[in-house]
């Protein structure tokens, strides 16, 4: 149904509801500035008190777009109980999907590193220390296990990456890959660690005035699950959006292994398996962002993801999977990427 001329739109109604929510909190009368969003349907604003200068972050997570702030609130409480820097919650309307959060500022990891590469060791050491703390803590109660989802998510890259480029159905090829990938994923064992699942430089903020792992401001953790201990570490080191220097990657691996007393050889294998699974999944996500959601700029990130995938497929215990993946999946040549962009927004269903 189309709105009558002059009738308020759903966007107008949402904006009015947001304004009403803010007016009922201690942040009434503050100035509002829109911030850059992420790959979700959430929107973010910075609230600034013109008198005191204090600031907060306003999150708009519309339930009718599939957003739900309750997992964010639960995971934030868990992280804060571990003395980690999840934002304090100043006000919440769970039903409408509105939150006012502590403002950690603008020093995202990727931006700090771009300004001063000499700070990278300190930033990444602190980020690893967060993961060591999570691995040593009792797992968060009530979380689902990631393991049963890992195979399907990884192999969805056949549907959203390979098939659109090659122009052919690849169901049989996908099942061939599954027969080799599943035993590797099973070897990771049951998920016993709280994993945040999107732990990378654009979701971490540098808080140098705090101590220890609390120097890392945490964002975008609402999809936390129970998973392999290596998962968030490889999310940090095989970053889809920035090139993490090899020396920093090695430093992170060594610090994590030492911090938890792990067997380096076993951990190297598990990390490679997690990285392959994650980067196959990201091929799917970035392809889908163009083909279904109409956001072709994600395609430009695919070559970096492909590079991570190829490096970890070189692990000696992943040889069979490497042979299958390299036979099935097309390299992200410029011609391949152009196909994904040319088909931008042409697949209306996620099924």
Alpha-carbon gap, residue 263 to 271, rounded angstroms: 12
pLDDT at 348: 84
In terms of CATH architecture, what is 10-102?
A: 2-Layer Sandwich (3.30)
67 neighbors 77 (Cβ within 8 angstroms): no
Per-residue pLDDT of 257-295, as tens digits, reads 999 999 999 999 999 999 999 999 999 999 999 999 999
Q: For 149-166, what is the mean pLDDT?
A: 97
Q: What percent of the chain has pLDDT over 90?
A: 91
Average pLDDT over residues 87-92: 97
Q: What is the pLDDT of residue 350?
A: 73
Report the pLDDT value the prediction gives residue 149, as an integer from 0 to 100: 97
Residue that wins the pLDDT comparison between 104 and 8: 104
Give the pLDDT band of residue 4 (cuts 50, 70, 90): very low
Q: Is it the case that residue 2 has pLDDT exceeding 50?
A: no
Say how many CA atoms lie within 13 Å of 170 toward its Cβ: 25
Of all residues in the chain, the percent with pLDDT exceeding 70 is: 96
Span 286-310, average pLDDT: 96
Cα(94)–Cα(46) distance, integer angstroms: 19
Q: What is the pLDDT of residue 6?
A: 53
- Please tell me the total number of residues recorded for the chain in this structure: 351
Domain boundaries, the chain: 10-102, 109-342
The residue with greater pLDDT, 149 or 8, is: 149
Average pLDDT of the segment spanning 172-176: 97
Summarised one tens digit per residue, pLDDT across range 106-115 is 999 999 999 9
pLDDT per residue as tens digits for the range 14-28? 899 999 999 999 999
Fold (topology level) of 109-342: Aminoglycoside 3'-phosphotransferase; Chain: A, domain 2 (3.90.1200)
**pLDDT score, position 1:** 32
> For strand 55-60 and strand 225-227, is the pairing parallel, antiparallel, or unpaired?
unpaired
Phi, psi of 250 (to 5 degrees): -65, -40
pLDDT for residue 40 is more than 80: no
């Amino acid at each position: 149904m189309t709105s009558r001329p002059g009738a308020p739109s759903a966007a107008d109604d949402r904006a009015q509801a947001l304004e009403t929510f803010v007016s009922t909190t201690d942040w009434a009368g503050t100035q509002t500035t829109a911030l850059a969003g992420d790959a979700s349907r959430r929107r973010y604003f910075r609230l600034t008190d013109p008198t005191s200068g204090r600031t907060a972050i306003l999150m708009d997570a519309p339930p009718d777009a599939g957003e739900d702030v309750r997992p964010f609130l639960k995971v934030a409480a868990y992280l804060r109980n571990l003395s980690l820097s999840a934002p304090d919650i100043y006000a919440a309307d769970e039903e409408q999907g509105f939150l006012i959060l502590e403002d950690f500022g603008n020093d995202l990891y990727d931006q700090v590193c771009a300004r001063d590469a000499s700070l990278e060791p300190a930033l990444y050491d602190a980020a690893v220390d967060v993961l060591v703390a999570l691995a040593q803590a009792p797992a968060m109660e009530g979380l689902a296990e990631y393991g049963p989802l890992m195979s399907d998510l990884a192999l969805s890259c056949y549907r959203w990456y390979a098939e659109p480029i090659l122009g052919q159905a690849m169901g049989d090829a996908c099942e061939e890959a599954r027969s080799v990938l599943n035993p590797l994923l099973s070897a990771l064992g049951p998920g016993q660690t709280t994993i945040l699942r999107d732990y990378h430089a654009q979701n971490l903020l540098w808080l140098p005035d705090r101590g220890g792992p609390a120097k890392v401001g945490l964002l975008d953790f609402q999809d936390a699950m129970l998973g392999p201990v290596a998962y968030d570490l490889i999310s940090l080191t095989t970053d889809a959006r920035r090139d993490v220097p090899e020396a920093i990657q090695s430093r992170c691996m060594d610090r994590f292994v030492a911090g938890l007393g792990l067997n380096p050889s076993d951990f190297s294998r598990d990390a490679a398996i997690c990285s392959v699974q994650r980067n196959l999944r990201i091929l799917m996500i970035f392809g889908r962002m163009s083909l279904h959601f109409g956001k072709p700029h994600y395609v430009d990130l695919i070559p970096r993801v492909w590079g991570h995938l190829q490096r970890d497929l070189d692990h000696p215990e992943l040889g069979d999977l490497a042979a299958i993946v390299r036979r099935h999946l097309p390299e992200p040549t410029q011609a391949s990427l152009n196909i994904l962009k040319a088909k931008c927004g042409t697949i209306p269903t996620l099924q």
